[in-house]
Structure 1
Amino acid sequence: MSARDALAAALTEAGIQLPAMDIRTPWLDVRAGEPPYALVQLGVCAAPVAHALAEVIARGAVR
């Protein structure tokens, strides 16, 4: 949950709210011996929210 919580906090600080953020069940890739991890499901967002998110990411990438 920490990844989802960190992302949610950063988005909130940037003034962006996604309608749903969920954690998918972790799994273990036994073939690669990798530790289990979960996927953060971001949900569906409106085009203006996607544009706002893209702008925030672009500004951060310039730093």
Structure 2
Amino acid sequence: MVGAPKIQEAVEARDALAGALTAAGIQLPAMDVRTPWPETDDEDAGRATRHALIYLGVCSAPVALALAAVIVKGTTR
């Protein structure tokens, strides 16, 4: 599969982020992995440096505020 290592890296990062958010009492409604390149077998220059993207979806204002609070708390340590 084209980009498989980058996709696996993104899946692991998504899972780590989801675990950290869950531990902080925050759940985003959608977190999935997307690739910024076509799913083909064609190799092109620079593909090795591309990263799969973690889509965080949309969230309500209360979830956004909770996420912001956790981030601020983490930066004051």
Q: TM-score range by the shorter chain?
A: 0.7 to 0.9
What count of residue pairs does the alignment treat as equivalent? 61
**Identity among equivalent pairs (%):** 64
Query: Which structure has greater helix proportion?
Result: 2
State the TM-score, normalizing by the size of structure 2.
0.70
Equivalent in the alignment of 1:47: 61
**For structure 2, which runs of at least 5 residues remain unmatched after alignment?**
1-10, 38-43
Q: Which amino acid aligns with 2:76?
A: V
**For structure 1, which runs of at least 5 residues remain unmatched after alignment?**
none
1:2 corresponds, among 8, 12, 20, to 12
Equivalent in the alignment of 1:16: 26
Q: Detail structure 1 runs of 4+ shifted over 6 Å in the superposition.
A: none
Q: Which amino acid aligns with 1:5?
A: D
**Which whole-Å CA distance do the structure 2 matches of 1:29 and 1:48 have between them?**
43
Larger relative contact order (CA 8 Å, sep ≥ 6): 2
CA drift of 1:9 comes to 0.2
State the TM-score, normalizing by the size of structure 1.
0.85
**Which whole-Å CA distance do the structure 2 matches of 1:42 and 1:5 have between them?**
12
Equivalent in the alignment of 2:76: 62
